[in-house]
């Protein structure tokens, strides 16, 4: 077992231990006190709440320590202002952070330990009600990059911010950062050349904040070279969304790409660029990702 695998196993044990403690404490609390009693909460109930808080907080702090990035979930409200727009968010409730913590831990733990230092993120901020203003449009979003801050919205919203989309959003934003560092975000003739002849971005959707339909990011077989309509909107989102799906349902994307030569070429280019960005993104990295067998049903059009 290499170091990455040992670290991943350690993180897994920490999370499993956290939830085991929570379950034990909740079970104990449920057996205490008389129904309908009006006295103050008993010690077991207080300990259960404290155990949940200390459990997810310890897991998040360990995640940040491992990747060399500050994990923060208090300190809002947050305000970002730029010439192109900006964004706002506020502190999330404790229960929202607790619910989101295992999602974030699952997804970030897939990456090699030195990866986030290369990305240049200083903080990962967990907040709620993230509103992005861009080109005169304001919209709820699941996450955004503001300078050295990766801000993720943990509030639940069936249309914008359900858990399946939150998983994708984490990886989507990570790819944007890789792309930006590489100088290929918007101008990428090598990538564009992989599309079917005559294809033009932006005809079906502009993507990004301009795409307001809830199902545009879900899987579809309608567009050769693309997993969904959202990817047809612009070059950066095409790459970022394909990478996000590679991270959350890797095995399925490979099966789909085997039937679509345009998509297969894009998958190969993403893997090649990542290997050049970080040597830890090698075959063993993709084997770990491939081993995560998530249900693909939530990602299809309903």
pLDDT of residue 252: 96
pLDDT of residue 24: 27
Query: Is the pLDDT score of 223 beyond 50?
Result: yes
Give percent helix, percent strand, percent coil of the chain, each to the nearest 5: 50, 15, 35
pLDDT digits (tens, 9 = 90+) for 265-290: 999 999 999 999 999 999 999 999 99
Query: What is the rounded CA–CA span in Å between residue 226 and residue 205?
Result: 13
Binned at pLDDT 50, 70 and 90, residue 48 comes out as very low
Query: Is the pLDDT score of 29 beyond 50?
Result: no
Query: What is the rounded CA–CA span in Å between residue 192 and residue 201?
Result: 9
pLDDT of residue 156: 73
CB atoms within 10 A of CB 79: 11
Whether a cis peptide bond, with omega within 30° of 0, leads into 77 is yes
Query: Is the pLDDT score of 58 beyond 50?
Result: yes
SS3 (DSSP) at 92: coil
Q: What average pLDDT does the structure give for the chain?
A: 83
Give the residue-averaged pLDDT of 18-42: 36
Query: Is the pLDDT score of 177 beyond 60?
Result: yes
Query: What is the rounded CA–CA span in Å between residue 257 and residue 180?
Result: 25
pLDDT of residue 23: 30
Query: Is the pLDDT score of 185 beyond 90?
Result: yes
Query: What is the rounded CA–CA span in Å between residue 90 and residue 197?
Result: 45
Classify residue 249 by its DSSP letter: S
The residue ranking higher by pLDDT, 289 or 30, is 289
pLDDT of residue 214: 63
The residue ranking higher by pLDDT, 242 or 163, is 242
Backbone angles phi, psi at 207, to 5 degrees: 75, -175
Give the residue-averaged pLDDT of 125-145: 92
Query: Is the pLDDT score of 15 beyond 50?
Result: no
Query: What is the rounded CA–CA span in Å between residue 234 and residue 205?
Result: 8
Query: Is the pLDDT score of 42 beyond 80?
Result: no
- pLDDT cut 70: percent of the chain above it: 77
Length of the chain: 302
Closest CA to 151 of 180, 113, 123, 114: 123
pLDDT of residue 126: 97
Give the pTM. 0.81
Q: Is 124 in contact with 71 (CB distance < 8 Å)?
A: yes
Binned at pLDDT 50, 70 and 90, residue 165 comes out as confident
SS3 (DSSP) at 14: helix
Give the residue-averaged pLDDT of 155-166: 71
Would the CA dihedral through 13, 14, 19, 23 be positive or negative?
Answer: positive
Query: What is the rounded CA–CA span in Å between residue 182 and residue 273?
Result: 9
Q: Is 240 in contact with 184 (CB distance < 8 Å)?
A: no
The residue ranking higher by pLDDT, 29 or 67, is 67
pLDDT digits (tens, 9 = 90+) for 73-118: 999 999 999 999 999 999 999 999 999 999 999 999 999 988 999 9
Query: Is the pLDDT score of 41 beyond 60?
Result: no
């Amino acid at each position: 077992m290499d170091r990455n695998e040992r670290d991943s196993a350690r993180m897994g044990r920490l999370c499993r231990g956290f939830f085991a403690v929570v379950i034990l404490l909740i079970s104990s609390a449920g057996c205490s006190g008389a129904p309908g009693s009006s006295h103050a909460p008993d010690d077991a109930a207080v300990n259960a709440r404290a155990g949940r808080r200390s459990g997810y907080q310890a897991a998040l702090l360990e995640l940040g320590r491992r990747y060399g990035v500050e994990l923060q979930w208090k300190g809002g409200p947050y305000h970002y202002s730029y010439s192109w727009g900006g964004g706002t968010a506020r502190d999330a409730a404790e229960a929202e952070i607790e619910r989101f913590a295992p999602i974030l831990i699952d997804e970030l733990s897939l990456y090699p330990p030195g990866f986030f230092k290369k990305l240049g993120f200083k903080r990962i901020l967990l907040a709620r009600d993230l509103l992005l203003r861009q080109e005169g449009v304001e919209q709820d979003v699941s996450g955004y990059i503001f300078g050295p801050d990766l801000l993720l919205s943990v509030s639940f919203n069936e249309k914008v911010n359900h858990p399946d989309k939150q998983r994708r959003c984490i990886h989507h934003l990570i790819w944007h950062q890789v792309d930006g560092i590489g100088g290929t975000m918007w101008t990428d003739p090598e990538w564009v050349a992989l599309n079917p002849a005559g294809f033009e971005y932006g005809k079906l959707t502009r993507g990004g904040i301009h795409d307001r339909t809830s199902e545009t990011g879900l899987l579809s077989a309608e567009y050769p070279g693309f997993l969904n309509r959202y990817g047809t909107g612009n070059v950066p989102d095409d790459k970022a969304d394909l990478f996000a799906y590679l991270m959350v349902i890797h095995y399925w994307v490979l099966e789909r790409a085997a039937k679509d030569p345009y998509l297969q070429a894009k998958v190969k280019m993403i893997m090649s660029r990542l290997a050049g960005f970080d040597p830890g993104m090698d075959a063993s990295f993709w084997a770990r990702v491939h081993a995560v067998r998530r249900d693909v049903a939530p990602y299809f059009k309903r």
